[in-house]
Structure 1
């Protein structure tokens, strides 16, 4: 093992924690509150933020989409520059937080912020960022990465920088009470696949990393089995914590990582508008089938420890698909509004973005991507 792990985000976890944001934001700073479609005004979060920011100078920007768009975000960048904003407070799920990471980087950059997404430039400075999480799924509230869409070109790309770590993240599970089943299911699936991307590769020597990843997977499986209690605070507390730990950077430190499911899924979302988690659910089982020879040892470990199945990989895969389906997430790509060009569109986009050999070993080729997508259309 050989790695550096650093996570400076302070976590404020628990009911009533929104008021703690005053401990992290100096009253001399001019704040921009960023949120999505307005659900925070229905669930009481906006009012709590407003009370906490009493005495502050603050503005707001709303309308961040579920897949935050470059086009919308650039409107907020202009406000930040024009109004000389000092601090960005993201209030929402992963999309709002991802979008705000783009904002704090692009606001201090003279060029086009898309440069960070296409890889031509690295972030050199950023405004400070805080997060109030309302929808657990991505772990974006305490990691370095963001995924941004560009509507005009059907692109969905990502960037990362330690400079965009949120200074703090409020995780108040009580704000999840108004989330619908689709949002809760998406969060569970997203967290499960995030963990698999860092665990389901090839054997390593770290008992801690494997054990911790398996603990997260077992916890998420337990929540899926206990789906009937999804409106209970304890269930929601556990999803919020598990999703955070799935992608705060630790379980991937010093071990191989895959992310091929995400690369393919991002293109499905860019072209066909699938929810992020739902794109992962149609890709992952088939990717595992195609790449089983390289993943078999870790897959058998997951089968034994998470699903209680010994020596039968296909039954484990069926159990995985059943888990997704049992909470309302299909693994059949044909159930979405796709067209007969789906394989061509996805493989061409991956080729354009230089992703012709992805996965932990670089062995998920475009030919295998085509095979995976064809298998996903059941």
Structure 2
């Protein structure tokens, strides 16, 4: 097992009817800005319920945070925070709203140009750059990204998606009430299942370092998603299925299963370019790329692919190559059973677009991806070609 530091201060308030808990989590004299996305928080009454719980606190709202939150939108919110003296941010939504709110918390506290915060990549922004951040809490309405219990986010600017990390923006608390997710469209639930699944494989299907606890937790998350994925789409008010999805998505990216093990993230990095260029949902890009990447990288990942085949899919018969092939095929079939297509051609992206995608990877510095940093642009091209 590799050396690691683990730190996660987020308090999780899980279960039915937990919105009332917010009252104990936010100071009574706080000036709160509630952030949300396209209007579902209003439409389904969550915003009104939260405002009622906040009672006599001074409350303002900022809506319209987009899927793949835009830098230009977020800096407007940061200006409101500074101008109005906001001292607590409360995000209602999924990963995009929560990611955006984290950036608002940093940008509002940063003395320089907010655009500078996008240049750190996966390196956490130090307290020498941003000394404090506005505290945040979250009310999760879309299980997928795990942003409700980590310190990272992804921000869109021009034709790129930029990771931003800082320990200052771990949510102080997150309300995880599975019932708040019942009204989600089926495609958003499917995307969430896939996002959580691929988050897990990015930290699990790498190379062995005898991280036994991490592996077993990862395998449990993957098996749970396979067990409940179709059910939670077909039966949106099946509380037990949806509760297991919500907690799986949180555990998939709260820092626990990546501690002390290698991490890949190539599927995500290539997928970000597909979203930026063609507007394909993030979860859909992962369903396209993961099976293809596993095929192209099967030698580099052989040992963990065999473990994945045996422990997650119960494939123990046949040659090693046959077992690996079957595991990858079962992964693709799982995504497709969720109603998500898994080929670039399904989204009208042909071979002529691959140089464009590779060009974007180059422009954004994605020239040495994977857990071993040897996934070159040529290999990215092969993955994309295999995904046609």
Structures share a fold, TM > 0.5? yes
Match of 1:321 in 2: 332
> Which residue pairs with 1:194 in the alignment?
199
- Give 1:130's aligned residue: 137
1:181 corresponds to 2:192: no
**How far is 1:337 from its partner?**
4.3
| 1:136, distance to aligned residue in structure 2 (A) | 0.3
The correspondence for 1:275, drawn from 272, 276, 281, is 281
Q: Name the SS for the 1:36 alignment partner.
A: coil
| Aligned mates of 2:81, 2:230 — CA distance in 1 | 45
In the TM superposition, what is the alpha-carbon distance from 1:114 to its structure 2 partner? Answer: 2.2
CA distance in 2, matches of 1:16, 1:149: 33
Partner of 2:300, secondary structure, is helix
2:382 is aligned, of 361, 364, 371, to 371
Cα 1:303/1:340, change in 2 over 3 Å: closer
Normalised by the size of structure 1, how large is the TM-score? Answer: 0.96
Match of 2:310 among 300, 304, 309: 304
Structure 1, residues 223-252: CA drift from partner, whole Å, max 9, x if none?
135354343111111100000000000100
2:160–2:364 Cα contact (<8 Å) kept: no
Q: 2:368 aligns with which of 353, 357, 361?
A: 357
Q: State the SS of the aligned residue for 2:137.
A: strand
Mapped contact 1:102–1:113 kept (Cα < 8 A): no
Aligned-residue Cα RMSD (Å) equals: 1.4
- 242-251 or 17-26: which moved more? 17-26
Structure 1: 4+ residue segments shifted above 4 A: 120-123
Q: How does 1:174-323 map to 2 (within 5 A)?
A: 174-226=179-231, 227-310=233-316, 311=320, 312-323=323-334
**After superposition, where does 1:31-50 map in structure 2 within 5 Å?**
31-50=32-51
Number of positions where the alignment pairs a residue of Structure 1 with one of Structure 2? 375
In structure 2, the residue matched to 1:104 is 105
CA contact (8 A) 1:214 1:305 kept: yes
1:33, 1:89 within 8 Å by CA — same for their partners in 2? yes
Quick one: distance in 1 between partners of 2:77 and 2:356? 31
Q: Which moved more, 1:67-76 or 1:308-317?
A: 308-317
Give the drift of 1:100. 0.2
Cα shift at 1:309: 1.4
Structure 2 residues not aligned, in runs of 5+: none
- 1:45 is displaced (CA, Å) by 1.1
Deviates more, 1:23-32 or 1:343-352: 343-352
Match of 1:116 in 2: 117
The answer (yes or no) to whether the contact 1:283–1:372 under 8 Å persists in 2 is yes
Which is worse superposed, 110-119 or 1-10? 110-119
Partner of residue 334, structure 1: 345
User: Which residue does the alignment assign to 2:52?
Assistant: 51
Deviations 1:247-299 (A, max 9, x none): 00010011100000001001111111111111111111111111100111111
- Normalization by structure 2: what TM-score? 0.94
Q: Write the distance in 1 (CA, Å) between the matches of 2:202 and 2:327.
A: 17
Q: Aligned-pair distance for 1:352? A: 2.0
In structure 2, what is the Cα distance between the partners aligned to 1:259 and 1:119?
16
Q: Deviations over 1:6-62 (max 9, x none)?
A: 100000000110111111111212110000011012222112101111110010000
Q: Secondary structure at the match of 1:88?
A: strand
CA distance in 1, matches of 2:202, 2:77: 32
Q: 2:171 aligns with which of 160, 166, 172?
A: 166
> In 2, Cα distance between the equivalents of 1:278 and 1:126?
33
Give the superposition deviation at 1:341. Answer: 4.8
- Deviations along 1:118-162, one digit per CA (max 9) or x if unpaired, are 229655221101111000000000101100111xx2111111111
Secondary structure at 1:297 match in 2: helix
Q: Which residue of 1 aligns with 2:359?
A: 348
Stretches of structure 1 lacking an aligned partner (at least 5 in a row): none
What is the CA distance between 1:374 and its match in structure 2? 1.0
